[in-house]
Structure 1
Amino acid sequence: MSSADNKRTVIVGIFTFLAIVILVAGIFMLAGQQKRLISTITVTAIFDDVAGLRTGNNIWFSGVKIGTIKSINLYGDSQVEVVMNIEEKVQQFIRKNASARISSESFIGNKNIVIDGGSQPAAPIEDGDRITAVSPLNTDDLMEKLQQNNENLVAITGDFKQLTSRLVKGEGTVGALLTDTTMAQDFRNVVANLQRTSQSTVNASNSLSAFTNKLNSPGGLANQLATDKEVFQQLKNSMTQLEEATASTSEITENLRTASSRLNNNNSAVGVLLNDQQFAKQLQSTMQNLETGTEKLDQNMEALQNNFLLRGFFRRKAKEEAKQKEQQQILPAPQQVQPKDTTQLEFKPSILQKN
């Protein structure tokens, strides 16, 4: 065999060896990614829709890759069973009440399954267990909602454009405020008045607070009413007396009402005097007759005094009266006697003269 053939054989052997090494390294690398050489357990989950999930996609737990999807099979009428290979070493962290949901590595990336570990009181999962599946978010529904939001945003933008256009043109109240200087000044005046009103309210509140502090200060009326029992008792007695006075006033008012009703009654003497006009006219006529009779009687008495038959009688009477006056001037004035019946008797000199 020539040296050229030997050289060619060596080169082919080297390339063959390198190819075998690369093939074995690729197999080991692929087996590592697929968790083929690691002890695993099988866990299943039933989904209504896998949203493009494929065999061999990754399984994540708390951000750590823990397995791959072994197979995807139809289950029942319209559901899908997903069989998962999970590393045995993470079995103790995943509980029987854990749940699986379909997620994405990016917005348009590969699908994967994310497992939520469940609660600590539950037992760890075992080989062949089935965990709860959470329905994934439908991308079509998401895009439809996004389209609706875009349409709403376009409508809002159009309305905002129309609103700003009206504001620039000075239409409406806000537009008038932005363009009309008079209205803007009026608005400033209103704001200034509101500020003054609020300041007045604050001052009134401070005054009221100071007044209440004075009321609560020791020695004040409110403090004494709240703390001094003697003042409270005096006030209570005053209120009782006021109630009694009110009751007496009510009784007096009732008596006055009764008396006034009697005065207005024509059956009583006073009522007749006050209300009967005919009787009043008769009484007035009687008084006039008495006055006329008195005048005539005075005239008759004067005529009798001038009569020669009774002239001596009246002269003697006048002399006796003159003597009585002289005696009253000479004699001391007697003391008045106070009888037991409290009736005062007037001293008469004519009695002494007769004795």
Structure 2
Amino acid sequence: MSESSSKHSIYVGLFIFIGMIFLLGGILMVGNLHETFKKKMELVSVFDEVNGLQTGANVWFSGVKIGKVRSIELNKNRKVLVTLAIETKAQQFILRNAKTKIGTDGLIGNKVVVIYGGTENSDPVRDGDTLRVGSTYSTENLMNTLQKNNDNLLAITTDFKTISHKLTMNEGTVGKLLNDNGLYDNINAVALSLNEASKKADKLIGSLNDYSAKLNKKGSLANDLVTDTIVFNSIKKSVSELQKMTTTANAIMDNLKKASSNPNSTIGVLLHDEESGANLKNTIKNLESSSEKLDEDLKAAQSSFLLRGYFKKKEKEATKANSEK
């Protein structure tokens, strides 16, 4: 009996021991306590505010968890000193000029510390190095941005509401255009007038094209005027002569005006002195009567026997000259 009891106790103790091992392993796996035994290095970052970051929060680098937040303290400058426990195997990937920021594990998840950036020519971090803080875009900032967008959207919808109200109430140019048939008819008439003007402009352009085509047609007057330098020079010379004639005529008229305005000149006397004009008329009448008497005397001389032969001879010579032509 004693031997069987001792064996039973051994089996029970062995079973309890194995159970304790499995229990410890489960606790380590569930609680992630196995990371406690990994080698760690410390990095420090100083934030203005941590937005609810807590001790034990995860540290991420390129989407991979590489450590935890070991401690959060306030320093004498009222800054937040955050100490990070980083796995030593990730040390080679974190550069000394990398930056840190506060992020979230999902949109509304727990706060985490994100390490990012760094240039390739920089050395890896060392234990105790301080990383600079980069720009942090928190949920609060996101909500503020969304609030501003909501305010802008509200202002836009309010403006659209005002515009639509004015349109329906026949206010403004567009509202009157939509509701006033008379204004629409006027605009339609203007559009038709513009259409007619466009057609006339097309006809005018067609006429100009025809005229330009005739200019290019050789032998035509228009082409000669444009291309023939002889015709052009002749026209130019004619215009120059006309200008000279016009200038001369203007000078003659100016002289006549000056002479007529002078009562001492011959023309001035004829225009202004009535007695001289009357004498000139009598003189012209006397000349006319004298010429008539002279004609009568010449006819009488032709009929006289002394000069009759002479005049007949002259008449025969004139007739012979006309026949030879």
Whether TM exceeds 0.5 here: the answer is: yes
Residues 232/31 of structure 1: CA separation in 2 closer, same or farther (3 Å cut): farther
Following the alignment from structure 1 to structure 2, what is the Cα–Cα distance between the partners of residues 322 and 81?
163
Q: Match for 1:282: what amino acid?
A: E
Secondary structure of 2:265's aligned partner: helix
TM-score (norm 1): 0.59
Task: Give yes or no for contact 2:102–2:138 (8 Å, CA) kept in 1.
Answer: no
Residues 275/97 of structure 1: CA separation in 2 closer, same or farther (3 Å cut): farther
Task: Give yes or no for contact 2:261–2:268 (8 Å, CA) kept in 1.
Answer: no
Q: 2:279 aligned with 1:286, yes or no?
A: yes
Following the alignment from structure 1 to structure 2, what is the Cα–Cα distance between the partners of residues 149 and 109?
23
Following the alignment from structure 2 to structure 1, what is the Cα–Cα distance between the partners of residues 255 and 66?
115
The higher radius of gyration belongs to: 1
TM-score (norm 2): 0.64
> Pairwise mapping of residues 172-211 of structure 1 onto structure 2 (< 5 A)?
172=171, 180=179, 183=180, 187=184, 190=187, 194=191
Q: Match for 1:23: what amino acid?
A: L
Following the alignment from structure 2 to structure 1, what is the Cα–Cα distance between the partners of residues 303 and 202?
95
Match of 1:321 in 2: 304
**2:265 maps to which of 259, 268, 272:** 272
Number of matched pairs? 306
Task: Give yes or no for contact 2:260–2:271 (8 Å, CA) kept in 1.
Answer: no
> Pairwise mapping of residues 250-261 of structure 1 onto structure 2 (< 5 A)?
250-261=243-254
Residues 189/270 of structure 1: CA separation in 2 closer, same or farther (3 Å cut): closer
Task: Give yes or no for contact 1:56–1:68 (8 Å, CA) kept in 2.
Answer: yes
Match of 2:122 in 1: 123
Residues 206/43 of structure 1: CA separation in 2 closer, same or farther (3 Å cut): farther
Following the alignment from structure 1 to structure 2, what is the Cα–Cα distance between the partners of residues 232 and 284?
53
Task: Give yes or no for contact 2:107–2:139 (8 Å, CA) kept in 1.
Answer: no
Quick check: 12-21 or 236-245, which moved more?
Answer: 236-245
Task: Give yes or no for contact 2:270–2:277 (8 Å, CA) kept in 1.
Answer: no
Following the alignment from structure 1 to structure 2, what is the Cα–Cα distance between the partners of residues 39 and 199?
91
Task: Give yes or no for contact 1:99–1:115 (8 Å, CA) kept in 2.
Answer: yes
Runs of at least 5 residues in structure 1 that lack an aligned partner in the other structure: 225-230, 302-313, 337-355
What are the Cα deviations for residues 247-283 of structure 1, in whole angstroms up to 9, with x where unaligned? 5554444433333322222399999354456655233
Deviation of 1:9 (Å): 7.8
Quick check: 68-77 or 196-205, which moved more?
Answer: 196-205
Task: Give yes or no for contact 1:61–1:117 (8 Å, CA) kept in 2.
Answer: no
Task: Give yes or no for contact 2:38–2:87 (8 Å, CA) kept in 1.
Answer: yes
RMSD between aligned residues: 5.3
> Pairwise mapping of residues 19-98 of structure 1 onto structure 2 (< 5 A)?
19-27=20-28, 30-31=31-32, 35-98=35-98
